[in-house]
Amino acid sequence: MNIVLLDGYTLNPGDLTWKDLEYLGQCTVYDRTPPKKVVPRAKDAEIALTNKTVLSSDVIKQLPKLKYIGVLATGYNIVDIEAARALCIPVTNVPAYSTRSVAQMVFAHLLNLAQHVGHHAETVRSGRWTFNPDFCYWDMPLIELAGLTMGIIGFGRIGQATARLALAFGMKVIAYDIVTPSSIPEGCQFVELDDIFRVSDVISLHCPLTPQTKNIINKERLELMKKTAYLVNTSRGPLVDEQALAQALNNEGIAGAGLDVLSLEPPEKNNPLLKAKNCFITPHIAWATRAARERLLQVVVDNVASFLAGKPRNVVNGVKATA
Ligand code: NAD
């Protein structure tokens, strides 16, 4: 089988190995593929693998040998799964490989907002402590998380993993989801969406991007939040109206934000959040710990092997065609 991986660099910039994938067929790995090179590079592929390279209906129709599409991520919105279904091409994804890493990133952002370790360490490195009249100093309010309320929107795998960490920090947890789980973990309380905004000291977003959740953080909801509250978004950028959030931060409507995702990635130079007050942005890396990438690659390989064995798994478009 001819396997073409269109954009392997972010999964494996060199610290993992493709050998298990290469074992499954004639494998060509590109670091990245610009849109106009997708068809020429994949035209002989029977198996196409993509992380963020778009496989639109138009592209899929120009790949006559294609039998299988594997997405190297949980979200598969970059593939037109209906077009693939019409051609009996199964599309698979990789669920749940990064749950703990993403929950950990929520707390990396939250602890940064609460204590600004990086900033204070930088001032010490630059010599300021040495000349300080007192034995200590701090530049921003230092916040104890215990006793604060964490509001979680989207109480799925990552939302619940985040809740467990919050409880371990002594926080109270309230949650909102369109689906109420059959059992609510001890220490967590389900509330209405507006109550999340009114009551929370920290709001963490864990719902997927859908027409209903686009701009779920908007001007009106930001105005419901406490002035001392923080927003953390490790889910998807378009959940947030970025102009409204930048305004809320700059006008001290809320105290700070920790963001791992933006509406356009990489962001444009004039994205208002890049320079907003108390806004800390990481470049979509919550998923990218080595442990999570190793798990991801293993599932990608298992998905291809299962397809080749005639039993595709993690299929997201209902096609059970065999190789
Ligand atoms: P999941 O499917 O387990 O949980 C999502 C939850 O959101 C579900 O319980 C669902 O019912 C709920 N939901 C759906 N629509 C909603 C709405 N309108 N309002 C409130 N809740 C709603 O998914 P997960 O594994 O927990 O992942 C959550 C999100 O995290 C993903 O959709 C993805 O966007 C993001 N993610 C980001 C990274 C990263 O690197 N930053 C990595 C992995 C996942």
| E strands, 56-96, in order | 68-71, 91-92
Question: 284 an active-site residue?
Answer: yes
Q: What is the DSSP string of 179-205?
A: S--SSPPTTEEE--HHHHHHH-SEEEE
pLDDT value of position 44: 97
Q: What is the mean pLDDT of residues 88-111?
A: 97
Q: Decide whether 2-97+290-308 matches 99-281 in CATH topology.
A: yes
Which residue, judged by its Cα, is nearest atom 27 of ligand 1? 158
Q: Mind spelling out the 3-state secondary structure of 263-294?
A: CCCCCCCCCHHHHCCCEEECCCCCCCCHHHHH
Selected catalytic residue, list 236, 242, 293, 295: 236
Please report the atom of ligand 1 found closest to the CA of residue 95: 25
Q: What is the mean pLDDT of residues 42-54?
A: 97
CATH fold, domain 99-281, is Rossmann fold (3.40.50)
pLDDT value of position 323: 60
Selected catalytic residue, list 109, 284, 293, 295: 284
Q: Where are the domains of the chain?
A: 2-97+290-308, 99-281
Question: 206 an active-site residue?
Answer: no
Pocket of ligand 1 (CB under 6 A): 74-75, 96, 98-99, 102, 153-159, 176-179, 206-208, 210, 212-213, 234-236, 260-261, 284, 286-287
Residues 6+ apart with CB under 8 A from 101: 286, 287, 288, 289, 291, 292
Judged by DSSP in three states, 244 sits in helix
- Residue 267 CB neighbour total at 10 angstroms: 16
The class that CATH gives domain 2-97+290-308 is alpha beta
For the segment 287-313, what is each residue's pLDDT rounded down to a tens digit?
Answer: 999 999 999 999 999 999 999 999 999
Backbone φ and ψ for 274, nearest 5 degrees, come out as -60, -30
Cα 106 to middle of ligand 1, angstroms: 14
- The token pair at 301 is 């390989």
- Residue 189 CB neighbour total at 10 angstroms: 12
Q: What is the mean pLDDT of residues 225-244?
A: 97
Cα 239 to middle of ligand 1, angstroms: 11
* Residue of 162, 178, 183, 265 to test ligand 1 pocket, by largest number of atoms within 8 Å of CB: 178
For the segment 255-290, what is each residue's pLDDT rounded down to a tens digit?
Answer: 999 999 999 999 999 999 999 999 999 999 999 999
Question: 198 an active-site residue?
Answer: no
